[in-house]
């Protein structure tokens, strides 16, 4: 099989003969092969063994036939290098013993040393660059989303401690955003040098902010990250996470190629709010995968019909896969997207050539 660059072409709004698809959290507990490996090793133990991390990254590509791989890692991994001890607790998420609460806590954060502390990540990327026949997406957590774990100490629903710091101690907040921004820039640049073919910045929880607060407290750092990485040729994705529909109108200044949408806005409405500059990615509600196959297909058909109306569309879920997802339905969905989008794009082409 020759190299499949559909995903890269769609990021660049080039023509494609079918819609590329990958899934956030496509390597994970819904996959029985992954669960077998997890019986022996924790997430962090897998990440520290490049051969194994590469194998886990490849599993969904082989099982599902998706058009891109996403590096097996976690958004928390780089924070070990800036001096934060954390653990990823099963069924909970990232947990930090000494959360960040004061100016001193932020001052103590060190610059990231990717080669020194995270060489296993770069080695995993190099292995995958040799083995993959689809593009490798690498990723980082965005400053707000990482800060929410660093400040709360564990997953939160209200982000009360994060917002308390943000509103009450803006100088500390901005210093934290600056340091996490620097971390992300250095980390992603190293990924791209090691062979990454695109990256996604995951801002999973930033939808907890109003558009004005997003603009004031977060957007400057997001702009800086994409500005400083704009010399890189690889496509760049910003995913503003769940409930981010209201933020879309204020993202226009970000030098990303693609914006990820959650399922609360349609693809057409998302594009309208973004103002047309970006390719878009998304946005099936992951829990639609609990429905019978014909219902899943009907949802996917509507999303694809919307997506292919303009160049630059990548199928994905509106958020990550969940552990109870059925591998069979996921395979069925992937095959459906490939088959249906190819027919639909061909039909569209015929209609357009008929017009001229
Ligand atoms: O997408 C992929 O397949 C690549 C791997 C990946 C993981 N985490 C592995 C993982 C990616 C892209 C992430 C990113 C990540 N991690 C995000 C952003 C994406 C999102 O979902 O919004 C966030 C917020 C985290 C933090 C985190 N890590 C959470 C909330 C959890 C879930 C805790 C749980 O057990 O339910 C984790 C753990 C984690 N990271 C798992 C995986 C496969 C599940 C637990 C495990 O298998 O050990």
Residue list, ligand 1 pocket, CB within 6 Å? 24-29, 38, 43, 70, 72-75, 88, 90-94, 139, 155, 202, 204, 320
What is the domain partition of the chain in residue ranges? 6-355
Q: What is the pLDDT of residue 343?
A: 98
Q: What is the pLDDT of residue 190?
A: 98
Q: What is the 3-state secondary structure (H, E, C) of the chain?
A: CCCCCHHHHHHCCCCCCCCCECCCCCCCCCCHHHHHHHHHCCHHHHHCCHHHHHHHHHHHHHHHCCCCEECCCCCCHHHHHHCCCEEEECCCEEEECCCCCCHHHHHCCCCCCHHHHCHHHHHHHHHHHHHCCCCEEEEEECHHHHHHHHHHCCCCCCCHHHHHHHHHCHHHHHHHHHHHHHHHHHHHHHHHHHCCCEEEEECCCHHHCCHHHHHHHCHHHHHHHHHHCCCCCCCEEEECCCCCHHHHHHCCCCCCCEEECCCCCCHHHHHHHHCCCCEEEEEECHHHHHCCHHHHHHHHHHHHHHHCCCCCEEEEECCCCCCCCCHHHHHHHHHHHHHHHHHHHHHHHHHHHHHC
User: What's the rounded Cα separation, in Å, for the pair 22 and 61?
Assistant: 9
* Total-model pTM: 0.97
Q: What is the pLDDT of residue 1?
A: 66
Give pLDDT tens digits along the chain (356 positions). Answer: 699 999 999 999 999 999 999 999 999 999 999 999 999 999 999 999 999 999 999 999 999 999 999 999 999 999 999 999 999 999 999 999 999 999 999 999 999 999 999 999 999 999 999 999 999 999 999 999 999 999 999 999 999 999 999 999 999 999 999 999 999 999 999 999 999 999 999 999 999 999 999 999 999 999 999 999 999 999 999 999 999 999 999 999 999 999 999 999 999 999 999 998 999 999 999 999 999 999 999 999 999 999 999 999 999 999 999 999 999 999 999 999 999 999 999 999 888 876 65
Residue 156 Cα to ligand 1 midpoint, Å, equals 15
Residue 74 Cα to ligand 1 midpoint, Å, equals 6
Q: What is the pLDDT of residue 355?
A: 62
Q: What is the pLDDT of residue 352?
A: 80
Ligand 1 atom 5: residue of nearest CA: 72
Residue with tokens 């819609």: 19
Classify domain 6-355 at the CATH topology level: TIM Barrel (3.20.20)
Q: What is the pLDDT of residue 276?
A: 82
């Amino acid at each position: 099989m020759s190299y499949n660059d559909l995903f890269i072409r769609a990021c660049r709004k080039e023509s494609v003969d079918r819609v590329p698809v990958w899934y956030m959290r496509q390597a994970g507990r819904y996959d029985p092969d992954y669960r077998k490996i997890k019986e022996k090793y924790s997430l962090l133990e897998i990440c520290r063994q490049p051969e194994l991390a590469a194998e886990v990254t490849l599993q969904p590509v082989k099982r599902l036939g998706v058009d891109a791989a996403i590096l097996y890692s976690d958004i928390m991994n780089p924070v070990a290098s800036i001096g934060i001890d954390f653990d990823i607790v099963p069924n909970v998420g990232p947990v930090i013993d000494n959360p960040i609460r004061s100016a001193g806590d932020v001052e103590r954060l060190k610059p990231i040393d990717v080669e020194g502390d995270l060489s296993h990540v770069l080695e995993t990327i190099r292995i995958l660059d040799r083995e993959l026949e689809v593009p490798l997406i690498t990723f980082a957590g965005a400053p707000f989303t990482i800060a929410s774990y660093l400040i709360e100490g564990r997953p939160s629903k209200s982000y009360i401690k994060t917002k308390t710091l943000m509103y009450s101690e803006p100088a500390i907040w901005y210093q934290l955003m600056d340091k996490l921004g620097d971390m992300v820039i250095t980390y992603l640049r190293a990924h791209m040098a090691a062979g990454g073919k695109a990256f996604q910045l995951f801002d999973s929880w930033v939808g907890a902010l109003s558009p004005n607060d997003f603009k004031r407290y977060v957007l400057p750092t997001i702009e800086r990250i994409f500005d400083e990485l704009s010399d890189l040729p690889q496509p760049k994705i910003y995913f503003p996470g769940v409930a981010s529909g209201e933020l879309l109108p204020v993202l226009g200044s970000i030098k990303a190629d693609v914006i990820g949408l959650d399922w609360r806005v349609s693809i057409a409405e998302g594009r309208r709010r973004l103002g047309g500059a970006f390719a878009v990615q998304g946005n099936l509600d992951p829990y639609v995968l609990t429905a019978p196959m014909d219902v899943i297909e009907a949802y996917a058909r509507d999303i694809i019909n919307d997506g292919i109306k303009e160049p630059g569309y990548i199928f994905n879920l509106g958020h990550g896969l969940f552990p109870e997802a059925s591998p069979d339905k996921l395979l069925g969905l992937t095959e459906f997207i490939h088959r249906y989008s190819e027919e639909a794009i061909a039909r569209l082409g015929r209609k357009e050539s008929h017009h001229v």
